[in-house]
Amino acid sequence: MQTSRIRWMRLGALVGVLSAGLLVLPAGAEGGLIMDEILVRYPAGFTRALAWDVGPALVDPELQAGLIEPLRAANHPLAGLVRTIEFFRISPEQVAYVVHGQGPEVSSFSQIVGPGRDRWMGALRGLQAAAQAPNSPFTRFEWETLDGVSVAFVEGTFGPVALEWAYIPTEGTLWIGTEVAFLPGRPDEERLRKTTRRMVDKLLGRRTAGTFSELAVAVSVRGGDLGFVRLTEPQDRPQEPGEQAMGFRMTVGPEDVVGRFVLRFASRADAQAAAQRLREGTSPYLAQDLYRAELVGLQQEGRTLLVEVQTDLRGLVGLLLLVMPF
């Protein structure tokens, strides 16, 4: 499959120690995203995470047109992180990668990894000033301290949508918790605060916080420009019967997008049935809604399938909309 010429860029990942004593785990490298080290930063309760080495798309017009703009139009969570980078006027070369994490009982929490804590604090002070301006869409801004960790709780109303955020600025990462509701409803502030508490406990290294549990699949999808891992739930797409967990890595090249899926099933028979549909070209892992891909390679290891695919930017956007809808 062909796309327009795409200019390659690689941004190095930042590794450091937080001034507050919190550890920043390395999550990007010359070989791409390291999904298992991204996931261990999330506490128990999160069941899916999508990471993106976003830097190239922030500066390349063709990637902006082929990836960022369609995601903006769909109001995808990754587009929300791009808007945050733009709103805070963060230079693309400062951004190592972004992550969006979700779970059924927790508020979504995202990461923008790159700038130091001072840069994030300055950006949040600017947001605080904006919240105090007349007719601002930001209706509340309050700093709180949870066990020595600074958290900014922010509210805003944008058209028919009410939002609440929790911003945790750390050395190398801005964590962003989000709750959304359509008016006259209100965002779930209690859930946001409980999830923020879990996140702070995780940042402080407390064992009671637990960890996102699906690391085996995450190790198998290291690398690439985009990475995704989930513990599969009944409503998830794309999905085959018996799927327990799924992950993929996608690498954007000059002519196409190549990907690797790792799929774990409840039984060998479920894996065999899914493999057969892949060979026949009828599998949802190859085609569903806007997502279209060609099968390049297939290997079965017990209950696990290793699937190599080839697609283009349109197919990649469709896949992202399937696995992590707004």
Instruction: Give tens-digit pLDDT for 252-273.
Output: 998 899 999 999 999 999 999 9
What's the CA gap between 204 and 147, in Å, rounded?
9
Torsion angle of the four alpha carbons 184, 177, 105, 35, in this order, in degrees rounded to the nearest 10 = 140
What's the CA gap between 314 and 291, in Å, rounded?
7
What's the CA gap between 326 and 322, in Å, rounded?
10
Identity of the amino acid at 318: G
Cβ contact 173:24 at 8 Å: yes
- DSSP characters over 300-311: EETTEEEEEEEE
**What is the residue-level pLDDT of the chain in tens, covering all 326 positions?**
433 333 333 222 222 222 222 333 344 444 799 999 999 999 999 999 999 999 999 999 999 999 999 999 999 999 999 999 999 999 999 999 999 999 999 999 999 999 999 999 999 999 999 999 999 999 999 999 999 999 999 999 999 999 999 999 999 999 999 999 999 999 999 999 999 999 999 999 999 999 988 999 999 999 999 999 999 999 999 999 999 999 999 999 988 999 999 999 999 999 999 999 999 999 999 999 999 999 999 999 999 999 999 999 999 999 999 999 87
Cβ contact 95:55 at 8 Å: yes
Q: Bridge partners of 309?
A: 259, 295
Cβ contact 314:305 at 8 Å: no
Return the number of other C-beta atoms located less than 10 Å from residue 187's C-beta: 19
Element (H, E) at 275: helix 268-280
Assign 3-class secondary structure to 98-148: EEEEEECCEEEEEEEECCCHHHHHHHHHHHHHHHCCCCCCEEEEEEEEECC
- Identify the CA nearest to 197 among candidates 123, 145, 142, 156: 145
pTM: 0.89
DSSP three-state, residue 256: coil
Mean pLDDT over the full length of the chain: 90
pLDDT per residue over 48-102, tens digit each? 999 999 999 999 999 999 999 999 999 999 999 999 999 999 999 999 999 999 9
What's the CA gap between 3 and 70, in Å, rounded?
15
